[in-house]
Amino acid sequence: MDYRELLALAERAKEYSYSPYSRFRVGAAIAAKDGRVFTGTNVESASYGATICAEQAAVVKAVSEGCRSFEAIAVASDAEAGSFPCGICRQLLAEFGLDIKVITGKPDGDIRVCTIAELLPCAFTGEELPEKP
């Protein structure tokens, strides 16, 4: 999928942000290898730690619909140049592939593209865990 189109979907998802505490809106759109796109936005809680990031919302929607194979995720935020996923979101995305591309920026401006492997060097992938019984 075209990265600018994916970013435009992330921008649109940002409009649904529930962020009364930080007032920082984030939208995400994740493109699956089967052509489907799932969007998500950040959902905050008065108990701050219960907040869900936009990227998490998008991944959880996708996996809940049986989708585990992804090409790229676009992230749109209130930051002027867009912003990259937080550490927890990088780890969650790494679960589904270090080669997933992360796109940020504005759909009509400069965009930045990198991979989860670049954003999360020496990732803990689960390879280290003992074999399952």
> By CB under 6 A, how many residues form the interface with ligand THU?
13
Per-residue binding letters, 22-51, with ligand THU (x by CB under 6 A)? x-x-x---------------x-x------x
Can residue 7 be called a binding residue for ligand THU (CB under 6 A)? Answer: no
- Give me the phi and psi of 76, to 5 degrees please: -120, 135
Nearer to ligand THU, 34 or 79 (CB): 79
Nearest-CA neighbor of 72 among 110, 99, 52, 109? 99
Tell the smallest beta-carbon distance from residue 130 to ligand THU (Å): 31
Q: Are 67 and 96 in contact (CB under 8 A)?
A: no
Can residue 115 be called a binding residue for ligand THU (CB under 6 A)? Answer: no
The single residue among 8, 37, 55, 71 that binds ligand THU, judged by CB under 6 A, is 55
d(CA 21, CA 104): 23
Return all residues near 55 (Cβ < 8 A) that are at least 6 apart.
26, 28, 30, 40, 73, 75, 85, 89, 92, 93
- What is the binding site for ligand THU (CB under 6 A)? 19, 22, 24, 26, 42, 44, 51, 53-55, 85-86, 89
